[in-house]
Amino acid sequence: MYRNRVCMRVLAAILAAAIFPVVSLAQSTSPVAPRRQQVEAIVREAFDKYKSDTTGKNADYIPYLAQVNPKLFGIAIVTTDNQVLTMGDVNYSFSIQSISKVFTLALAMEELGPEKAFQRIGSEPTGRAFNSVNAVVDMPTHTGNPFVNAGAIATTSLINGKNEDEKWNTILAFYSKASGEKLALIDEVYKSEAATNTGNKALAMLLAKYERIYSDPFEAVDIYTKQCSVGVNAEQLARMGATLANNGVNPATGEQVIKREDIPYILSAMTMAGLYDASGSWAWHVGLPAKSGVGGGIVAVAPGKGAIAVFSPRLDEAGNSVKAQKVIEYVADHLDYNIFSPGSVGLK
């Protein structure tokens, strides 16, 4: 009888471990993940404080983006132990745009390692707009860094595959693993951007002149345009960020998506150039590695703790979502997330 009960308990424990492996794995690897109650009140305050802010305007150089409802506003936090907190329009799928650049860099590093990726792309801030032609001419590397368009198109050109479709599918599958869900192209965004991306084609041809693009330039631009047109909602984006915060392990699936040793390089590049020529001001005020996209998303990573993603389409002059910046600054400040603050690791 006693033995039977022990057997039952052992069986139950084995079953529980099989059903909830992710929870136990995530909890054991995330001693500093913030508690839900801590975060909930702060996020609510930030949401209420900024929900009526109408500063900035939608990107309009991509026709699709000009007609997205500017009032949409969603916030999601995913912690390294996979607690999820969402507020506002969190089911809306917006185009990931430049935030994709982070994950294509991660994929290129999977294949090449950090040193070769650094040699082929570099990581210097340009101090110029994200689509600057002058930066390509002036920067000694020409590519600048992986998060301006030129450097990002060059990064996409590094992805292996026997043809364009295979390369594209590799990228999409990688993003999906980082988010823990199957992501898809928003076809209308892709068509809208592909019909108007002459500037990006010019950047790619200029890189070819300097021998700083590593596949057919137009093929690279086309795949890059597709990667920018991937749809994500705020929670999916926050989980992609949480994968970075969790040493490359997706906190929902437990899968090691990005090599652990690549994470510091990716986060350092996000700190230097994640918000383009506003990255210095962002580091000064917020102190979190982050990446923005002209679709209105920003994801910021608190290493070891989690990530916050905010979506709001109205952008400032640099092309960064106004509300997303304000919300993330508020939350990072109130939760002491700034990585440059000793308080972020508990020093009072």
Give the binding site for ligand GLN (CB under 6 A).
97-98, 130-131, 149, 193, 200, 228, 293-294, 319
Nearer residue to ligand GLN within complex by CB, 233 or 321: 321
The identity of residue 267, as a single letter, is L
Neighbours of 49 (CB within 10 A): 12
Under a CB-based contact definition with an 8 Å cutoff, are residues 62 and 289 in contact? Answer: no
Contact residues for 234 (Cβ-Cβ < 8 A; gap 6+): 74, 75, 76, 86, 88, 89, 90, 92, 297, 309, 310, 311
For residues 171 and 294, which CB has a smaller minimum distance to ligand GLN in the complex? Answer: 294
What is the smallest separation between the CB atom of 252 and ligand GLN, expressed in angstroms? 26
Nearer to ligand GLN by Cβ, of 56 and 303: the residue is 56
Angle (nearest 5°) at CA 302 between 48 and 324? 35
Residue 150 CA to residue 205 CA, distance in Å, equals 10
The 3-class secondary structure across 146-176, one letter per residue, is CCCHHHHHHHHCCCCCCCHHHHHHHHHHHHH
Each as own residue / partner, the long-range contacts of residues 37-42 (CB below 8 Å, 24 or more positions apart, any chain) are 38/335, 39/77, 39/85, 39/331, 39/335, 40/85, 42/330, 42/331, 42/334, 42/335
Residue placing its CB nearer to ligand GLN in the complex, 228 or 322 = 228
What's the CA gap between 314 and 38, in Å, rounded? Answer: 28
| Least spacing, CB of residue 293 vs ligand GLN, in Å | 4
CB of 131 to ligand GLN, least distance (A): 6
CB of 59 to ligand GLN, least distance (A): 8
Q: What angle do CA 22, 28, 29 make, to 5 degrees?
A: 90
- The smaller minimum CB distance to ligand GLN, of residues 212 and 291, is found at 291
Is 339 within 8 Å of 108 (Cβ atoms)?
no
Minimum separation from the CB atom of position 141 to ligand GLN (A): 19
Choose between 83 and 131: whose C-beta lies nearer to ligand GLN.
131
Identify the CA nearest to 130 among candidates 224, 215, 35, 1: 224
Question: Tokens 């301006």, residue?
Answer: 148
Q: How far is the CB of 281 from ligand GLN (least distance, A)?
A: 16
Write down the least CB distance from residue 5 to ligand GLN, Å. Answer: 59
Residue closer to ligand GLN (CB basis): 80 or 98? 98
Q: How far is the CB of 56 from ligand GLN (least distance, A)?
A: 14
> Smallest gap, in angstroms, from Cβ of residue 210 to ligand GLN?
19
228 CB burial (10 A radius; 0-12, 13-18, 19+): buried
Using CB atoms, what's the residue nearest to ligand GLN? 98
Instruction: Give yes or no for a contact between 69 and 312, defined as CB atoms under 8 angstroms apart.
Output: no
| Cβ nearer to ligand GLN, comparing 83 with 95 | 95
35 Cα distance to chain centroid: 23
Nearer to ligand GLN, 196 or 256 (CB): 196
